[in-house]
Amino acid sequence: MLPKSASAPFKRSDPGLVSNPAPHAFGGWAGRLRYRAGALLADRLNVWGLWVQTRGRYSVARYLFSASLIACTAARGPDHPRTATIVNNLAVSLKYLGRLAAAEPLFRRGFAVREAVLGHEHPSTASSANNLAALLQDMGDFQEAEKLYLHALNIWRVTIPVPHLALAKVLNNLGALAEDRGEFGRAEQFYRQALDITDQSLGPAHVATATCLNNLALVLLEQNDLLGAEPFLRQALVVFRAQLGDQHPLSVTVTENVAALELRRRGAQEAH
């Protein structure tokens, strides 16, 4: 099965990181130079962290984000939006490493800073809410996760143009959450909305659209709707093979899903 939660580029909280001087502690030209150098170092370390993270080197990314957070906190202070962004990125690296308990306080910290500084209805606040919700879903706290997903969805519906991939992402996450709770009809509705937005934004031949197709097909299979699931699975397989090749893990996974569907269909025919 393909992963259902598409997490945005999405860090670990240490009170010691916020004890360095804030920008206002630097006076005169020397202080301004130190501030600019610290901010530049923080930004470069953050970019390097994102680069290595996209290549699956999560331990290296964690160290780079940790160093970036120290530099950014010293230069800009603990409550700056850029600091919150780096906190979020560090939390993502920890989540990828499976250190969910360490990631949680960081996701909460980034969310709290963005909500306080940028406002309750800011798109970046919605992004933090979505990221925290995805973590809580993985930890089994479905109730708070759903509340945060819906909060992010309500913000994005008001503040960003439609169709927008951020909406598709949170709708997909809500579908995965409903599926985890056994609410397959509700999950199907969320997945269909996510598919419509992704198809409009990226087109039918995009990998993200194929991922939505696969997720929708799987929840239809959960409802024993083999006829409804088959065209979505086959379309997803065509896209993955065309874009990624036959041997890519996503292509292999969907190939296995199609084979499982055919096996179930033959079993249903023999039963009759």
Instruction: Over range 72-81, report the average pLDDT.
Output: 92
Average pLDDT, the chain: 85
> Which residue type does 257 have?
N
pLDDT of residue 32: 52
pLDDT of residue 65: 95
Instruction: Over range 93-97, report the average pLDDT.
Output: 95
pLDDT of residue 13: 30
Q: How confident is the model at residue 15 (pLDDT cuts 50, 70, 90)?
A: very low
pLDDT of 199 strictly over 60: yes
Please spell the DSSP secondary structure of 207-266, one letter per residue: HHHHHHHHHHHHHHHHTT-HHHHHHHHHHHHHHHHHHH-TTSHHHHHHHHHHHHHHHHHH
Please spell the DSSP secondary structure of 113-129, one letter per residue: HHHHHT-TT-HHHHHHH
